[in-house]
Amino acid sequence: MTNLIPLFHAARQAADLCARVQQTAVFRSEKSGQEPVTIADYGAQAILCRALMRHFPDDPVIAEESGAQFADLVSPEDRAQIAALVSDVIGEPVDQNALIAWLDHNRAVDASANRAPRAWLIDPVDGTKGFLALRHYVVAVGMLMDGEPTGAVVAAPIYPGGGRLFYAVDGASYSLPLRGSLDHGAEAARMRVSSRADIPLARAMESAEESHVSHDRLARARGLAGLDEARVEQADSQEKYCRVAAGDAELYLRLPRKHSTRPHMIWDHAPGVALVRGAGGIVTDIDGSPLDFTLGRTLARNQGVIATNGQIHDALIEAVGRLLALEQAESGSSAGL
């Protein structure tokens, strides 16, 4: 059994740092691909990697940010601000060199890390655009064992009803208050996916950002599955997986925009997949094939994601297949005009 308690504390500290950043000025710069990054991303990842360095020193780490990026993109003034914030949150002095060392701790250099006996994935602020817009975001840590997502720690400060800490370990998923006791079993509730099998009554989650998905395609796929009247909620980040795992939704469908070349990053999905599976749900590609986390930083062989309570999974796979066939036929018709 992997003891995740040190990561409970680190995730709570990282969420605390994120909240403090939102109350102050938010530094923003653009990474490659025009993805936003904030001082919270660097500070939260440093805190999480510090915990991994102390408690799992030999395990490879696959993380979104890097020390080189921190040094290149962030001004000296902002680097000093991040160091001061991290120092305040963890209660000990921190300099910029320590931050860089933590950010790059055991940083994976190739796909062999994905297949290690145990490797860690970090998305320090998952849902950065939601974070910037004061919407939903999470702090996410995933654990791969031999290429499979088997563990997770996800802090969700904006979860409906109050902040929650979600985690998966030993084939089971749990939830507890983010601000309560963080000892395994103290206040933790075992999570189970919803048993709802009536498709018209299913509750669906989808991404808030139109740049990530096509809401029109999602609506059309739901219609083909008989979910025309489904209650649909939008949220940023892997909170969507958390909702399915906790039984607060039956479906999360990620269907990219047509002709999208945007990659699916493994840290955006592995923690959530572990949570849903541990709660008894099913997560696959949109054609029902497995998600492959062994190929480096992206789900290079996968098209999208269907995460459900299992009761409606086959119906969604069939509906997406029908949608793709219809789109292909429509594209052929248009080409012939």
What are the structural domains of the chain?
A: 5-190 (3.30.540.10), 199-335 (3.40.190.80)
pLDDT tens readout for residues 229-239: 889 999 999 99
Query: CB of 99 within 8 A of CB of 56?
Result: no
pLDDT classification of 181: cutoffs 50, 70, 90 = low
Over residues 136-147, the mean pLDDT reads 97
User: Does 32 score more than 70 pLDDT?
Assistant: no
Over residues 170-190, the mean pLDDT reads 83
User: Does 246 score more than 80 pLDDT?
Assistant: yes
Residue 123 gets the label, from left (phi > 0), alpha (psi -120 to 50) or beta, of: beta
Here the tokens at position 290 are: 């497995």
User: Does 183 score more than 70 pLDDT?
Assistant: no
Residue 274 gets the label, from left (phi > 0), alpha (psi -120 to 50) or beta, of: alpha
Query: CB of 277 within 8 A of CB of 288?
Result: no
Distance CA(317)–CA(287), nearest Å, equals: 6
Query: CB of 94 within 8 A of CB of 87?
Result: yes
Query: CB of 159 within 8 A of CB of 275?
Result: no
pLDDT classification of 334: cutoffs 50, 70, 90 = low
Q: How far is CA 226 from the centre of its chain?
A: 28
Distance CA(192)–CA(199), nearest Å, equals: 18
What is the DSSP secondary structure assignment for residue 111, as one 8-state letter? G
pLDDT classification of 192: cutoffs 50, 70, 90 = very high
Contacts of 133 (CB under 8 A, 6+ apart): none
Distance CA(63)–CA(51), nearest Å, equals: 14
CA angle 40, 45, 46 (to 5 degrees): 100
Distance CA(89)–CA(79), nearest Å, equals: 15
Give the pLDDT of residue 185: 59
Torsion of CA 198, 306, 268, 232, to 10 degrees: -40
Q: Is 126 a catalytic residue?
A: no
Give the pLDDT of residue 35: 61
pTM, rounded to two decimals: 0.94
Give the pLDDT of residue 109: 85
Phi, psi of 155 (to 5 degrees): -95, 125
Q: Can you state the angle between helices 76-90 and 5-22, rounded to 10 degrees?
A: 130
Distance CA(103)–CA(310), nearest Å, equals: 37
pLDDT classification of 333: cutoffs 50, 70, 90 = low
Query: CB of 327 within 8 A of CB of 264?
Result: no
pLDDT tens readout for residues 55-79: 999 999 999 899 999 999 899 999 9
Q: Which long-range contacts (CB under 8 A, 24 or more apart) does 49-54 make?
A: 49/102, 49/103, 49/104, 49/105, 49/122, 50/10, 50/90, 50/102, 50/105, 51/6, 51/7, 51/9, 51/10, 52/7, 52/105, 52/106, 52/120, 53/102, 53/105, 53/106, 54/6
Catalytic residue among 38, 128, 150, 308: 128
Average pLDDT over the chain, rounded to whole?
A: 92
User: Does 6 score more than 80 pLDDT?
Assistant: yes
Distance CA(305)–CA(308), nearest Å, equals: 10
pLDDT tens readout for residues 84-115: 999 999 999 999 999 999 999 999 989 999 99
pLDDT classification of 210: cutoffs 50, 70, 90 = confident
User: Does 28 score more than 70 pLDDT?
Assistant: no
Q: Is 298 a catalytic residue?
A: no
CA distances from 10 to 95, 140, 286 (A): 18, 11, 34
Residue, of 305 and 27, whose pLDDT is higher: 305
- Closest residue by Cα to residue 2 from 170, 146, 165, 117: 170
Residue 147 gets the label, from left (phi > 0), alpha (psi -120 to 50) or beta, of: left
User: Does 336 score more than 60 pLDDT?
Assistant: no
Over residues 176-198, the mean pLDDT reads 84
pLDDT tens readout for residues 264-284: 999 999 999 999 999 999 999
Query: CB of 302 within 8 A of CB of 292?
Result: yes
Give the pLDDT of residue 184: 58
Q: What percent of the chain has pLDDT over 70?
A: 93
